[in-house]
Structure 1
Amino acid sequence: MQGGGDVGEYRIDVDPAELAELHDRLERTRWPDTLPDTGWADGADLSFVKQMCEDWRHHDWAATQDRLNELPHHLVDLGDAQVHCIHQRGVGPDPLPLVLTHGWPSSFVEMLDVIGPLTDPEAHGGDGADAFHVVVPSLPGYGFSPAPTEPGTDAGVIADLWVKLMAHFGYDRFGSQGGDWGSAVTTALGARHPDRLVGIHLNMLAPPIDPATLTAEQRRWWDDLADYRDQEWGYVHLQRTKPHTPAFALTDSPAGLAAWILEKWWRWSDCEGPDGRRDLWRRFTPEQVFTNLTVYWVTRSIGPSLRLYRETFGAGSLISQPPRITVPTGVALFNEPNRPPRELVEPWYDLRRYTTIDEGGHFPAMENPAALVEEVRAFFRPLREGASTVRA
């Protein structure tokens, strides 16, 4: 098999027996004992997870699969790895290549709602001059990208793979966008391959911060973030130190997988209503939730997805310790605690645009796709002129 070539245009085709086994496991779930009236305080809410698993059992995957296969999927051999991706060509006078990288615990499904508006702006009420050629890869080991077979695939290595992937499609220079792991990979692209990047756009970042230098207002934000991490980051410590242990349970139990993933979607999303109650359906559709869960289940993605924490954090995370990024950078921070003030971001990036958006949380491509699309368009608009990006 030659490096840098298509293994083939890819069609998602899940074995019906795999789905039948999933439904059987969901029906036979052994539910844990939990204390009454704890809700989400101690983790995933039992009654919520029970209802979700019942609904998941009746989800029409065949219809979902048909819709997914309307997009142009590829499985590309990059020599060091095979990568699944969607490659949608733009419609406009001079589309700019753009790679969109998802995070955890999501998949390529996270980006589905922004592909159309970014590739064909006129069809979605925009200007064709803002069109992009969009590539949405699945991180190694996530979804339909095969898992690494040796240690070492961290965010920097993935960034190197994305350069090869974009070159495979004829894109010598391109833009990059992401949050969560997508932010880490996009930051690594800016650090390791500045000559290949037209610009980078982030909806999450964590620049190095010296608490001793903070103003009183900045210190309040920092202390609030520290409290949040103390309450909500137990998963990080587990996944960066012992990722294989939870992988046994989550790979074998679809109910456990749903609880592990959806507790993060519930907690990290901007799903709180005016009455103070959090409701997942304020930000996500059942189709998004059950498609993502099914992709994780049928591909056994959860284990490799946990391991990425060990690989990247163990190597010195580019999330928390980036070099200064010289590539033009845009930042759009949505409604979540990790929203560093502009003046703490500027020393570490060539910051051209910084926006805070109060609607939408950790998953803006799903929670508020229109706002994310507009931010990406606005950031890259002045960078397009003279950007030689596509080989003839």
Structure 2
Amino acid sequence: MTETITKQQSNVKPTDKTAIRPFQVNVPEEEISELKRRINATRWPERETVSDQSQGTQLGTIQELARYWADEYDWRKIESRINSFPHFITEIDGLDFHFLHVRSKHENAMPILIAHGWPGSIIEQMKLIEPLTNPTEYGGNESDAFHVVIPSMPGYGFFGKPTTTGWNPKRIARAYGELMTRLGYTQFVAQGGDWGSIVVNFMGVQESKGLIGIHTNMPEVIPSDVDAAIWSGNPLPSGLSDEEKKVCEQVRENKSAYAFQMGTRPQTLTGLVDSPVGLASFMIDHDWKSHALIARSFAGVKEGLTRDDVLDNITLFWFTNTAISAARLYWENTVAGISFFAVKGVKLPVAVSVFPDEMYEAPKSWTEKAYPNLIHYNKLPKGGHFAAWEQPEFITSELRTAFKSLR
């Protein structure tokens, strides 16, 4: 953790490692000035030789991002927003474990752990906090209330950076389960997208103590033989429906170059911790639909994510110097041999929300087989991979509906 930009407020003795210590963010002004200096000092490449994003982040998009970042963006706004929620640090499995914990004023609220992914952070889910904890002010009823826990991922944001190997999604799942136990929750649910989905799926497989159900907006439903064929480029198994074939095409068309690089050679990405514009260019080149959405936001189109949304998250990565430590999760996953989208074997109750611009649209045929205790399945009219961030109203509604039967 970058100690110069954080502050822990606690009266506990430093040796009490399992104590839960309050925490706030405070980036020194000189760090903000240095960021702007580096942005303005960027050495630019030539323009791409194609008219689309097939060669990656387009020069026009990243130059407009850099201009706005250096001239108009205000980090203090999101810093104030971050600090408006209660944050904490506790040590779990040898690492400083950062999380938000916002309890509802409603006595019978359901505890929920919400897990983010890459290139996300706790910022990705903060739009959900108030609607979930205070539903009567956001179109819901008292019976819809949740106590919300949002942990960072190891090596991300204000979480400690692993110095040894082994922090793969299965280990993170166990640590998240330990966190909920430490907070005193005897029953809770969990939600996730991207890496968060993989982690909460493993929490379901492990049947973390007190976990009674999970929700995912990136369901892992692809049969193992189909998954192997997708990634190897081999012919697909016979007998697939048109909807199932479409899933395979959607996964293949995203290429996932970022995942391959981080999954095999994360330490090589040193340039991401030296150049803020290099970091931004890499982070926004995720799946092509999210990339297109972000590009439109910097072209002046108000849709889903705003320019500030995008830069809030990238700037958090920059100030915490976590580009490499976050990337190593992909390497850990590769070493562990864990598939992104293949069936994991969850037997607990599962709720699934399918967004049209997700990396693939999970068909109900595969979803029902992957999750034999499926309690909710719904296709939404709008939204993509970063659903909680982009379409918080939909996710809020889905969570209220999905877990109603488990209350």
TM exceeding 0.5: yes
What is the CA–CA distance in structure 1 between the aligned matches of 2:248 and 2:311, rounded to whole Å?
36
Name the residue aligned to 2:231. none
Q: Is the counterpart of residue 312 in structure 1 residue 326 in structure 2?
A: no
* Shift, 1:71, TM fit: 0.8
Residues 85-135 of structure 1 show CA distances to partners (whole Å, capped at 9, x for unaligned) of 111001324011100001111110000111110111001121011111100
Asked if structure 2 preserves the Cα contact closer than 8 Å seen for 1:98 and 1:132, the reply is yes
SS in 1 for 2:167: coil
Residues 184-205 of structure 1 show CA distances to partners (whole Å, capped at 9, x for unaligned) of 1100100112542111000002
What is the CA–CA distance in structure 2 between the aligned matches of 1:280 and 1:356, rounded to whole Å?
25
Name the residue aligned to 1:296. 317
Name the residue aligned to 2:221. 207
Relative to structure 1, the CA distance from residue 32 to residue 282 in structure 2 (aligned partners, 3 Å threshold; closer, same or farther) is: same
SS in 2 for 1:74: strand
Name the residue aligned to 1:256. 278
SS in 2 for 1:11: strand
* Shift, 1:80, TM fit: 2.2
Q: Is the counterpart of residue 129 in structure 1 residue 143 in structure 2?
A: yes
Asked if structure 1 preserves the Cα contact closer than 8 Å seen for 2:48 and 2:59, the reply is no
What is the CA–CA distance in structure 1 between the aligned matches of 2:250 and 2:45, rounded to whole Å?
31
SS in 2 for 1:326: coil
Q: Is the counterpart of residue 216 in structure 1 residue 241 in structure 2?
A: yes
* Shift, 1:272, TM fit: 9.8
What is the CA–CA distance in structure 2 between the aligned matches of 1:176 and 1:112, rounded to whole Å?
15
Name the residue aligned to 2:23. 10
What is the CA–CA distance in structure 1 between the aligned matches of 2:252 and 2:314, rounded to whole Å?
30
* Shift, 1:333, TM fit: 1.1
Q: 1:283 aligns with which of 304, 319, 322?
A: 304
Name the residue aligned to 1:69. 83
What is the CA–CA distance in structure 2 between the aligned matches of 1:374 and 1:357, rounded to whole Å?
11
SS in 2 for 1:327: coil
Residues 3-32 of structure 1 show CA distances to partners (whole Å, capped at 9, x for unaligned) of 4321x2101011222111111100110111
Asked if structure 2 preserves the Cα contact closer than 8 Å seen for 1:208 and 1:321, the reply is yes
Q: Which moved more, 1:302-311 or 1:36-45?
A: 36-45
What is the CA–CA distance in structure 1 between the aligned matches of 2:129 and 2:58, rounded to whole Å?
33
RMSD (Å), alpha carbons: 2.3
Name the residue aligned to 1:151. 165
* Shift, 1:245, TM fit: 0.6
- Residues 77-96 of structure 1: pairs in structure 2 closer than 5 A: 77-96=91-110
Name the residue aligned to 1:389. none
Instruction: Give the letter for the 2:44 counterpart.
Output: W
Instruction: Give the letter for the 1:197 counterpart.
Output: L
Relative to structure 1, the CA distance from residue 163 to residue 223 in structure 2 (aligned partners, 3 Å threshold; closer, same or farther) is: closer
SS in 2 for 1:353: strand
Relative to structure 1, the CA distance from residue 269 to residue 24 in structure 2 (aligned partners, 3 Å threshold; closer, same or farther) is: closer
Which ranges in structure 1 are unaligned for 5 or more consecutive residues? 385-392
* Shift, 1:62, TM fit: 2.1
Q: Is the counterpart of residue 362 in structure 1 residue 385 in structure 2?
A: yes
* Shift, 1:299, TM fit: 0.4
Q: 1:21 aligns with which of 34, 54, 61?
A: 34
Asked if structure 1 preserves the Cα contact closer than 8 Å seen for 2:174 and 2:208, the reply is no
Relative to structure 1, the CA distance from residue 266 to residue 339 in structure 2 (aligned partners, 3 Å threshold; closer, same or farther) is: closer
Relative to structure 1, the CA distance from residue 85 to residue 195 in structure 2 (aligned partners, 3 Å threshold; closer, same or farther) is: closer
Name the residue aligned to 2:362. 340
Residues 149-187 of structure 1 show CA distances to partners (whole Å, capped at 9, x for unaligned) of 100000011111111111221112210000100001100
Relative to structure 1, the CA distance from residue 239 to residue 270 in structure 2 (aligned partners, 3 Å threshold; closer, same or farther) is: same
Name the residue aligned to 1:44. 57
Relative to structure 1, the CA distance from residue 112 to residue 266 in structure 2 (aligned partners, 3 Å threshold; closer, same or farther) is: farther
Aligned residues: percent identity? 31
Asked if structure 2 preserves the Cα contact closer than 8 Å seen for 1:266 and 1:279, the reply is no
SS in 1 for 2:366: helix
SS in 1 for 2:282: helix
What is the CA–CA distance in structure 2 between the aligned matches of 1:177 and 1:353, rounded to whole Å?
13
SS in 1 for 2:286: helix
* Shift, 1:280, TM fit: 6.7
Relative to structure 1, the CA distance from residue 79 to residue 224 in structure 2 (aligned partners, 3 Å threshold; closer, same or farther) is: closer
TM-score (norm: length of structure 1): 0.90
Name the residue aligned to 2:253. 228
What is the CA–CA distance in structure 2 between the aligned matches of 1:188 and 1:261, rounded to whole Å?
26
Name the residue aligned to 1:118. 132
What is the CA–CA distance in structure 2 between the aligned matches of 1:282 and 1:154, rounded to whole Å?
34
Q: Aligned residues, how many?
A: 378
Name the residue aligned to 2:184. 170
What is the CA–CA distance in structure 2 between the aligned matches of 1:318 and 1:61, rounded to whole Å?
36
